[in-house]
Amino acid sequence: MKIGLYPGCSLKGSSREYNESVNALANAFDITLEEVPDWNCCGATAAHNLNHELSLSLPARILALAEQAGMEMLVIPCAACYSRLTIVQYELNQDEELKKKVSEIIEMPYLGNIKILNVIQFIQQFILEKLPAKIKQPFNYKVACYYGCLLVRPHGILKFDRPEDPLTMDEAMKAVGADSIDWAFKVECCGAGMSVARTDVVGKLSGSIMKDAVDRGAEAIIVACPMCHSNLDMRRPDINKALSEKITTPVLYITQALGLAVGIDPKTLGLHRHFVPVNLPKKEIQTQMEVK
Amino acid sequence: MARIGVFVCHCGENISATVDCEKVASVASGFPGVAYSTSYKYMCSDPGQNLVKDAIKEYKLDGVVVAACSPRMHEPTFRRATAEAGLNPYLCEMANLREHCSWVHDKVEATTNKAIDTVRTLVEKVKRNTPLHPIRVPVTKTALVIGGGVAGIQAALDIANTGHKVIMVERDPSIGGHMSQLSETFPTLDCSQCILTPRMVEIAQHPNITLYTYAEIESLEGFIGNFKVKIRKKSKSIDEKACTGCGLCSTKCPTKKISSEFEQHLGKRPAIYVPFPQAVPNKPVIDKENCTYYLKGKCRICEKVCPTKAIRFDQPDEILEVEIGAVVVATGFDVKETDFFPEYGYGKYKDVITGLQFERIASASGPTQGMIRRPSDGEIPKTVVFIKCAGSRDPAKGIEYCSKICCMYTAKHAMLYKHKVHDGNAFVFYMDIRAGGKNYEEFVRRAITEDGAQYIRGRVSKVYEKNGKLIVSGADTLLGSMPVEIEADLVVLATASVASKGAEELAQKLHISYDSYKFFSEAHPKLKPVETNTGGIFLAGACQAPKDIPESVAMASGAAVKVAVLFSNDELTREPIVAEVNRIAPPMYSTCVGCFMCQPVCPYQAIEREQIKDRSGNLIKELARINPGLCQGCGTCVALCRSKSIDLHGYTNNQVLAEVVALLND
Amino acid sequence: MSGISIYKSNSLAGQIHHDLEVSAAKCYQCGKCSAGCPVATEMDYPPSMVLRMLQTENPVLEEKLLRSYSIWMCVTCEMCYGRCPMEIDIPKVMDYLREKSLKENKVNPKAKNIVKFHKAFLDSVNYTGRLSEVGLIADYKLRTFNVVQDVNLVPSMLAKGKLHFIPEMIKDRLKISKIFKKTLHKK
């Protein structure tokens, strides 16, 4: 089964373990993901903050490339890229003149008919049913599934899950034996792109998220967005500073958690690349990786 | 030879500013068949009408055309004047020179020519008018009141006190409606049940009122003054005549943990139950969906303990058919429940409740005996947050309108809470304060200045639960939209008032109009608030739109008067502008072939099948017959009939053809 | 629908209505957006204030908006739009105000670093077609003269294999810079 994949810049750089775990999980279920040839950056937050047409053109080029490569489906693990591409596809489909204009800017034909899937939809469609049969080590920890902003909003365009208290990631985690807790910060913002320019804001916002999850007994946070992961993991010192306490709860990508459950080894899933050690205690899981 | 009178009205300047009225009258006097033609400044005035009457007598007119405003304005006026002069009123027609001519065109010659053409058309029509006589239908002087809340109760009592019979149908086991669930009412803080229950008892004891509770409307047929209603009395499994209301059955029933609808799911009731102690009638019903006997065939304890052997497990539903003359619809409203709000928890937090649930908590006979205790752990909340406009005024949630009563009841709730928990904090998040009724503004000010309710202008973005507290994130827009976070023990949402469950189905059974929110439609928003577009059916209370108790009561009395007016005649006269299927001599009997394609297209279900039989009773043919009592003269069947067997009195095919020919022949 | 707009043609609200089809008049100032905004306390004008300032069509307030810190502090988390009862697309309005603020050189001094970050990000994309994080940080440090920013992270990032000193370039880089020339870098 061949499906398109748009990794985006983070998955090739600071969040490469996400990419590794997505590919490893896909392989374990005999799914081949083909990267969009010669893909470019989607522009993320910077493009739409500074120039509307640029913010439309960069994603449009990616979609046009995928269309050219004959991809009917495109899996986008990064929530920000997923958000940008889905919104651009929607906006251009609403306005034929704008579609033509953008097509001229990117100098490529553009149709706008590819089905875009985020990582959770990918799991739901291709993996969830086959999951129970392949479980080697149930992931029986208490987890807080953190969706962040861009997977569920704007709901009118993305039409994915419930915009308040979503449940799809929780269902996927329950399918591998996790105790997915009910908590209050599922869709609150982690601080997003302020990671460099206003790290203090990230500390405060991500801190509130961590605190609520940990207070309710979460042993791990599960995410589906590299920005959220980075803010909750790499920026843990700033979180600890904002909360005036040291929190050691690890943050895993959903693909890593599911990968562990079906027996993929932690190194392949990139768990050693995290800043906060993934020391999940007791049970029979062997994730005792520590970074020096 | 026809002798038509033409009267052209200047209508002050409304017509004469654009149309040359003198010229129209002068040209009209030359039309064949016109015996008299004149113009006048105000035809509808006394002298104007006298002009018509005098002309009829003097010139022996046999037809009148008043060229003036729209017939929807003054047709009755001029027809009455015509009748007073001794001429059949249906020989008078109006030519619309105002709404159809002077008001929509400029002052040019073409406009006056159009006016002349219009008059000529009407003259040709009136030449072919025949005298018509109003149709008389008898009136059954029994009223049906659907709904036993405060509006239904008021309407029923008013109608019954005029001496007419009333049948009241209520689908719950007891009458009283939402008002019986309230603790105290604004602005007087009267105990709600104390002022309602005497009226409820009056209903039960009134000699003119027959009360059916646990009953619903099965169907309604007929027309104004002549309805036939089928009422389904759902089986209570109790012989009401034998039951004394002692309550032993409820006490002994082993299934005690059913969520009580009356207590808004904050309390429990048994399977055989009376909804509340002051219920009328104070006789129980068995909830078949939760009774052990009906589910598993076991138990029957109530049957064993009942001292008068009143339990009847095999009692069937009963369908009653009654003839009535008028209907008052008073089915009330419901409130949205907390699961409607994703940002407030999708209904999963026990301590986020609706205003109606707060009423039950504050009620002396409620689940907490009137002490303000929160549902999760029964603790007395020290901080309560009231959120107004929860669902109302919210296009994103699909409810654009304002629910009217929430500003007042929230102020009341804050007051009641402060009266009972002196050291508690009451916060109210609001967008506006709507307190337009009598003494309402003073009431709200009292809540703020004397009882210490703290009003914060802004809405609440999110409510979530942590460690037994509810974290409320709102904003204070009067302080630069500064975010405000409050840790509350209890959150009360003033949820939107919506049409009551089953409103749409009932409206369709009764053939009355309703809007996109399923509130029933009044005939005219300003001038006919208690009538519907269906003759003989009236509205009272919140089923028409959210409203408070004084308004519901006033509206109910208004509906009652309309019913009384209807019943003040033994006969009703109807406009004779109705369609008729022709009848001719045997052996044809009619050009109607009996295809009955007209029957399903009639919007008023006015077409029946008439069987033509010979003297031995054998069927010769079936013909369509239009019930003149139901027909509204829309003309749909006339246009549809393939054999052209139907014609419309007052707008016959000949008349309309004559008008068209007159228009085309300049 | 008459062709007459309820807004002045040269006001921000009027332009926003014309270009984005977002109507500021719909806002009834309920404050739900400000209540749910994660960074409202960091802003000089929370989202509902921004809408109110647009509603006034007052040039003095419009100028304040373009020079505000709010529009750059906004993280486009879309929470405001998600909760707004009138379904007003506030993130779209924020993007619009940002673009205008930049074009007219009215960026709030406090927000300079944020803008520099965005610019550094896009420079990397312009040059390589993708984001090179090393390039981004280097560029950002240059722009902000903050050499020590996140320096402590470098060793661990290297050890985790997350830092690539040689940027990955796409083949069709020229196409990307063409796109930039037609949009952000248009003269």
Q: What is the pLDDT of residue A288?
A: 45
Q: Shortest Cα distance from C22 to chain B (angstroms)?
A: 15
Q: Which chain B positions have a beta carbon within 8 Å of C64's beta carbon?
A: none
> A292 falls in which pLDDT band (50, 70, 90)?
very low
Domain boundaries, chain A: 2-120, 133-273
Q: What is the pLDDT of residue B172?
A: 97
Report whether pLDDT(A291) > 60: no
3-state secondary structure of B253: coil
Query: Buried b / exposed e across B643-654, counting CB within 10 Å, b at 16+?
Result: eebbbbbbbbee
Q: What is the pLDDT of residues A42-81, one digit of tens each?
A: 999 999 999 999 999 999 999 999 999 999 999 999 999 9
Q: What is the pLDDT of residue A156?
A: 95
Q: Please choose, from the candidates A230, A242, A233, A248, the residue with its C-alpha nearest in 3D space to the C-alpha of residue A203.
A: A242
The least confident of B345-354, B395-404, C147-156 is C147-156
Mean pLDDT, residues B569-576: 89
Mean pLDDT, residues B536-564: 97
B398 Cβ contact list (under 8 Å, min separation 6): none
3-state secondary structure of B649: coil
Minimum Cα–Cα distance from B465: chain A residue:
A184
Q: How far apart are alpha carbons B356 and B363 in whole angstroms?
A: 11
CB contact under 8 A, C38 and A205: yes
Q: What is the 3-state secondary structure (H, E, C) of C161-173?
A: CCCCCCCCCCCCH
Please report, as a single letter, which amino acid is at residue B153.
Answer: I
Q: What percent of chain B is modeled with pLDDT above 70?
A: 100
Report whether pLDDT(C174) > 80: yes
Domain A133-273, CATH: 3.40.50.11810
Torsion-angle region of residue B299: left (phi > 0), alpha (psi -120 to 50) or beta? Answer: left
Q: What is the pLDDT of residue C137?
A: 76
Chain B CB within 8 Å of residue C79 CB = yes
Picking from C79, C150, C164, the nearest residue to A149 by CB comes out as C79
Q: What is the pLDDT of residue A282?
A: 63
Q: What is the pLDDT of residue B335?
A: 97
Q: What is the pLDDT of residues B342-376, one digit of tens each?
A: 999 999 999 999 999 999 999 999 999 999 999 99
Report whether pLDDT(A285) > 50: no
State in words which class domain A2-120 has.
Answer: mainly alpha
Q: What is the pLDDT of residue A1?
A: 55
Q: What is the DSSP letter of A144?
A: E
The neighbouring-strand residues paired with B273 are B285
User: What mean pLDDT value characterizes chain B?
Assistant: 95
Q: How far apart are alpha carbons C47 and B378 in whole angstroms?
A: 39
Structure tokens at C143: 């722009």
Mean pLDDT, residues C169-173: 89
The neighbouring-strand residues paired with B7 are B38, B66
Q: Kindly state which CATH superfamily the domain B142-332+504-567 is placed in.
A: FAD/NAD(P)-binding domain (3.50.50.60)
Is B15 within 8 Å of B68 (Cβ atoms)?
Answer: yes
* Range of B536-545, B610-619, C123-132 with top mean pLDDT: B536-545
Mean pLDDT, residues A114-131: 96
Q: What is the pLDDT of residues B185-230, one digit of tens each?
A: 999 999 999 999 999 999 999 999 999 999 999 999 888 899 999 9
Residues of chain C with CATH 1.10.1060.10: 12-106
Q: What is the pLDDT of residues B49-104, one digit of tens each?
A: 999 999 999 999 999 999 999 998 899 999 999 999 999 999 999 999 999 999 99
Q: What is the pLDDT of residue B638?
A: 96
Interhelix angle A254-261/A16-28, nearest 10 degrees: 40
CATH topology assigned to domain C12-106? Fumarate Reductase Iron-sulfur Protein; Chain B, domain 2 (1.10.1060)
Report whether pLDDT(A290) > 70: no
Q: What is the pLDDT of residue C3?
A: 66
CA B472 to mean position of chain CA atoms: 39
Is B238 within 8 Å of B286 (Cβ atoms)?
Answer: yes
B30 Cβ contact list (under 8 Å, min separation 6): none
Q: ipTM of this model?
A: 0.91
Q: What is the pLDDT of residues A245-278, one digit of tens each?
A: 999 999 999 999 999 999 999 999 999 999 999 9
Q: What is the pLDDT of residue B372?
A: 97
Optimal mutation site among A147, A149, A155, A164, interface B, most CBs of chain B within 10 A = A164
Q: What percent of chain A is modeled with pLDDT above 90?
A: 92
3-state secondary structure of B42: coil
Domain B4-127, CATH: 3.40.50
Picking from A153, A191, A292, the nearest residue to C78 by CB comes out as A153
Q: What angle do CA B319, B320, B321 make, to 5 degrees?
A: 125
> Is-cis flag, bond preceding A154, omega within 30?
yes
CB contact under 8 A, B345 and A215: no
Optimal mutation site among C30, C39, C55, C77, interface B, most CBs of chain B within 10 A = C30
CATH 3.50.50.60, applies to B334-498 = yes
Is B63 within 8 Å of B2 (Cβ atoms)?
Answer: yes
CA B249 to mean position of chain CA atoms: 39
Report whether pLDDT(B612) > 50: yes
Q: Shortest Cα distance from B406 to chain C (angstroms)?
A: 16
Q: Among the CATH numbers 3.40.50.300, 3.30.70.3270, 3.20.20.70, 3.90.180.10, which is that of B579-648?
A: 3.30.70.3270
Q: What angle do CA A166, A169, A170 make, to 5 degrees?
A: 80
Q: Shortest Cα distance from B473 to chain A (angstroms)?
A: 12
Structure tokens at B477: 């827009």
Q: What is the pLDDT of residue C165?
A: 73
3-state secondary structure of B656: helix
- A neighbours by CB contacts (3+ pairs under 8 Å): B, C
**Exposure of B480 by Cβ count < 10 A (0-12 exposed, 13-18 middle, 19+ buried)?**
middle
Optimal mutation site among B348, B397, B466, interface A, most CBs of chain A within 10 A = B466
Q: Shortest Cα distance from C131 to chain A (angstroms)?
A: 6
Chain A CB within 8 Å of residue C187 CB = no
The neighbouring-strand residues paired with B318 are B233
3-state secondary structure of B130: coil
> C155 falls in which pLDDT band (50, 70, 90)?
confident
Q: What is the pLDDT of residue C1?
A: 46
Q: What is the pLDDT of residues B2-51, one digit of tens each?
A: 899 999 999 999 999 999 999 999 999 999 999 999 999 999 999 999 99
Mean pLDDT, residues B399-403: 97
Chain B CB within 8 Å of residue C73 CB = no
- Provide the chain A residues 231-250 that lie in CB contact (below 8 A) with chain C: 234
Picking from A47, A50, A149, the nearest residue to C77 by CB comes out as A149
Residue length, chain B?
666
Pairing of strands B579-581, B646-648: antiparallel
Chain B contact residues (CB < 8 Å to C): 343, 389, 393-397, 431, 457-462, 473-477, 480-484
Q: What is the pLDDT of residue B574?
A: 85
Chain B CB within 8 Å of residue C40 CB = yes
Q: What percent of chain A is modeled with pLDDT above 70?
A: 96
Q: What is the pLDDT of residue C2?
A: 54
Q: What is the pLDDT of residue B118?
A: 95
Q: How far apart are alpha carbons B554 and B536 in whole angstroms?
A: 19
Q: What is the pLDDT of residue C132?
A: 81
Distances, alpha carbon B628 to alpha carbons B23, B606, C110, in Å: 42, 8, 81
